[in-house]
Amino acid sequence: MPPRYAARARALLLTLSALCAAPAAAASDPASEAPAVAARVEVVARGLDHPWSMAFLPGGDMLITERSGGLRVWRASGGLSQPLAGVPKVLAQGQGGLLDVALSPDFAADRYVYLSYAEAGGAKSGAAVGRGRLSADGAALENFQVLLRQEPKLSSGMHYGARLAFDRKGYLFVALGENNQRPTAQDLDKLQGKVLRLNADGSVPPDNPFVGRAGARPEIWSYGHRNPQGMALNPWTGQIWENEHGPRGGDEINLVQPGKNYGWPLATHGIDYSGRPIPEAKGESLPGMEPPLYWWPKSPAISGMAFYDADRFPAWRNSVFIGALGSQDLIRLTLEGDRVVAQERLLAERKSRIRDVRLGPDGYVYVLTDASPGELLRVAPAQSGGGTR
């Protein structure tokens, strides 16, 4: 064989070998290298201290949490308020602080505001969830009550998770990280690495999957989670979706179902930050464990999540938006039912860590940047008119 043909043959064999060795992509990101897409952006507010989450009040005003412990109101007519009184003391250490905020489904009647946060417990810390009533003047939370504490407390400042979401029946879902203690995600006697389901008052629904099971916490809805960072109600199906950080690779989206095991740390698409396998891992998938709905081979470090079902921008309907801290962009996934069929990246030119994303009552997408000073952004498709501001 002439040398030039031999070289080509060797190159072809190497290419085929690499393709055969590559991980299967059928369940993973079909467009991980999709180019960034221009969007129209308006800076709505500046000067936030590592904002973490937001919730729209009736009328369009917004509650915003700051990881350092401040809960503030943004008003279209007056900008950012001073921090509200009556907020619980938080442990602003590492990844901890004041985290998620959610309104009661009956907020118009009861004015309950739910918060998740990190709290100290001796040498270690854990997540907590509570609620208080927003005062009539919007300046304070009144009669704040702790509803749940993550026990035992095992965190040294990492992997609190602590996202909140209500379903259509008014149940409160709480997604908790494993505090960087991997095996606890499989321990049913602990609240680490779990999604919980509670009644609005913090009590346990009697039909939770582990109620009455010896050695299992009755609050648990699903387990085997690593570090949840986003959770939202799918408006078309009524199901709760959750996303979480993988280690090095393997960020994933899960459709959380009662009693299911989502695998961490036994099943994962990621590896350790050292480049070595996760010590407990036995494969990317295992019998009896739920595979992710969608996963990324290269971790964007995903964060807040919001479905788009507004009429304002038809091109964005049937999408879910997810913030990204590591890749510093806003990810839009196009859905066909529960299947992801396309991906695009927005806001990459801003080089900002995107912490949270919500759909506003005006049909715009609102985004918080994780910085001090952090920003509140209003986002629209570029083709909707105007340019990036």
Q: Which residues are catalytic?
A: 159
Phi then psi dihedrals of residue 252, to 5 deg: -145, 160
Tell me the HSE value of 78 on the side-chain side, using a 13 A CA sphere.
7
List the structure tokens of 100. Answer: 């998620």
Contact at 8 Å (CB) between 368 and 376? yes
Phi then psi dihedrals of residue 99, to 5 deg: -115, -100
Whether the bond between 381 and the residue before it is cis, its omega within 30 degrees of 0, is no
List CB contacts of 200: < 8 A, sequence separation 6 or more: 104, 105, 106, 112, 166, 170, 171, 172
Cα–Cα distances (Å) from 183 to 15, 103, 177, 226, 301, in that order, read 38, 33, 12, 10, 21
Q: The sheet that has 240-245: what strands, in order across it?
A: 227-233, 240-245, 251-255, 294-296
Q: The sheet that has 220-223: what strands, in order across it?
A: 161-166, 172-176, 194-198, 220-223
| DSSP codes joined into one string, 274-314 | TSSPPTT--BS--TTSPPPSEEESS---EEEEEEE--SS-G
Please calculate the CA angle 140-71-362 and round it to the nearest 5 degrees.
Answer: 100
List the structure tokens of 366. Answer: 């609102």
